[in-house]
Amino acid sequence: MMSRLKPLLLACFFATTAVFAGEGLEYMQNIINNFEKLRGELAEDFSAEKRKDVSGRARELALQILDIKEIGKLALGRQYGKLTPTQQEDFLGLFHELMANRVVEANIPSQKVITGKIPIEIISERAETDDVFEKEAIVVNTRVPHRKQSFKVEFYLYRSDAGLKLYDVHIDDASTLLDFRNQFSSIINKKGYKHLVKLLRERIQKINK
């Protein structure tokens, strides 16, 4: 499932689509528009200096969209409360770095190949009580074509003190945040929390290279 997420988010952030009235729909359209602007700049100038500049701004945009501290807590679940304050701070710092890098990796081309816009259909939004993560969610329902298939992709937003934030993405009804939680829990149960931290550091180093 996680292997699907990168190209699907790539498609979502690089698309322009018709939008219906609604708070969540407007929010998602703004995200799309902002990433489209960055992509347009790269289409005009793909120099190393420009890529560095655009990647930096894409990272800042990702951190505005995602409530990474909250997502990190939700991803760790009950395990988070078992950590010391120092461990919590360390974990959230690593998770912050991982998520920011993943969004940039997914949405900023690494080579000079700028394709046409991908037609993504934003269908509707609804209010929903997310019992798994205890959120009153605004869910934006979309359909995303990928190769010869079409996926139902739902973006889960919630109202934080800083406004709407994206905290989960469901791809064909499967929660990516729950997938994170299950993976983290499995690693901790089998090899301990320190091993999870080791894997996160290795993953960040690999992305940064």
| Of the candidate ranges 2-11, 46-55, 59-68, 193-202, the one whose mean pLDDT is the lowest | 2-11
Tell me phi and psi for residue 73, to 5 degrees. -65, -45
Please state the pTM of the whole predicted model: 0.81
Domain ranges (residues) in the chain? 2-208
CATH 3.10.450.710 fits 2-208, yes or no: yes
Please classify residue 141 by burial: count the beta carbons closer than 10 Å to its beta carbon, then call 0-12 exposed, 13-18 middle and 19+ buried.
Answer: middle
What is the rounded average pLDDT of the residues 155-178? 92
Q: What is the pLDDT of residues 182-207, one digit of tens each?
A: 999 999 999 999 999 999 999 888 87
